[in-house]
Amino acid sequence: MGQGMTGPAADLTHAAYESPDIVALYARPDGLQKPEETLLAQLRPSLGTMDMLDIGVGGGRTTRHFAPLARTYLGVDYSAAMIAHCRLAFPSFRFAVADARHLGFAADESYDFVLFSYNGIDHLDRAERLTVLGEMRRVLKPGGLMVFSSHNSNYLPSIVDRFRFRIHSSVRETLRSLKWSSVFWAKNGLLQYRMPLASGRVHDGTHSFRSAALYYVRPDIGVAELRHLGMVDIACAGNESGEFLAGDDPRLRQDPNPWIYYMSRKPGRT
């Protein structure tokens, strides 16, 4: 939700994240995911010395855990409705409406820690995604920490199975299955011929297909993107695991988790 797109897809997604029901949905969860719990435990001793930028802050799920511990905190989102909620819910902390592709409010090397959680970056196509990663790197201080999560293309067979048409004992449930299966394949007509998918955009039913397709990427390819960006100390964790694996761990290529947390550092000054 810190993304910025153009065209009909952008309008569709932006409208979804400005709607009261979606804002209320994102305002409810207040727990950290397992990789975030691991991250917070690791950072807790040093967060008090860190300037933190929280991109795609949504309803403030991460705010309540990280903001009180950081030296300075700024939460941003491209949804004005989300930011309005955060300002009411967390009046002690700073929030702003911002486009993750253009972090013009931030000077080079101004943050120690930049977080983009809950797969917000996946609303972008690959080119925009790389732009956002470049912006995150730009605003990081040397040695600064970048963390984001992204949908895992290894999980796509489970998505396809979820929308497979099934006959149920209930006529109502059978018709419901037919409806959503038809919508899924109308939006993803060639997906079955693209699998196994290394990376690409998929309409996975998020918010009942009210938003645009999301970007899915295999973990080893996500790691390669970070290496190309010049990031170091890369580590990854599946959303259902609290264990971070080194970016060159061969197990990552087959990791089955729905999404992956990527952690890396900007090289320090030599």
Question: Same structural domain for residues 179 and 227?
Answer: no
Question: Same structural domain for residues 93 and 193?
Answer: no
Residue 88 CB neighbours (<10 A):
10
Between CA 180 and CA 186, with CA 184 as vertex, the angle to 5 degrees is 115
Residue 13 CB neighbours (<10 A):
24
**Does 2 map to a domain?**
no
92, 97, 24: which is closest to 61 by C-alpha? 24
Domain that holds residue 96: 8-151+216-265
Question: Same structural domain for residues 100 and 189?
Answer: no
**Does 3 map to a domain?**
no
Q: Decide which of 209, 231, 254 is a domain's last residue.
A: 209
Q: Kind and range of the H or E element at 1? A: none
**Does 1 map to a domain?**
no
**Do residues 146 and 136 make contact, with C-beta atoms less than 8 angstroms apart?**
yes
- pTM exceeding 0.85: yes
Residues contacting 98, CB < 8 A, separation 6+: 2, 55, 76, 77, 78, 105
Residue 171 structure tokens:
């006529």
Q: What are φ and ψ of residue 52, in 5° steps? A: -115, 135
Residue 262 structure tokens:
């990527």
Q: Decide which of 164, 194, 209 is a domain's last residue.
A: 209
Which string of DSSP letters, residue by residue, matches 27-41?
A: HS--PPPHHHHHHHH
Query: Could you list the pLDDT tens digit for every one of the 270 residues in the chain?
Result: 454 445 555 667 888 889 989 888 888 877 999 999 999 999 999 999 999 999 999 999 999 999 999 999 999 999 999 999 999 999 999 999 999 999 999 999 999 999 999 999 999 999 999 999 999 999 999 999 999 999 999 999 999 999 999 999 999 999 999 999 999 999 998 888 788 999 999 999 998 898 889 999 999 999 999 999 999 999 999 999 989 999 999 999 999 999 999 999 999 987
**Does 120 map to a domain?**
yes
**Do residues 36 and 43 make contact, with C-beta atoms less than 8 angstroms apart?**
no
Q: What is the CATH number of the domain that holds 90?
A: 3.40.50.150
Residues contacting 190, CB < 8 A, separation 6+: none
Question: Same structural domain for residues 55 and 140?
Answer: yes
Question: Same structural domain for residues 58 and 184?
Answer: no
CA separation for the pair 174, 225 (Å, rounded): 42
- Give pLDDT, residue 56: 96
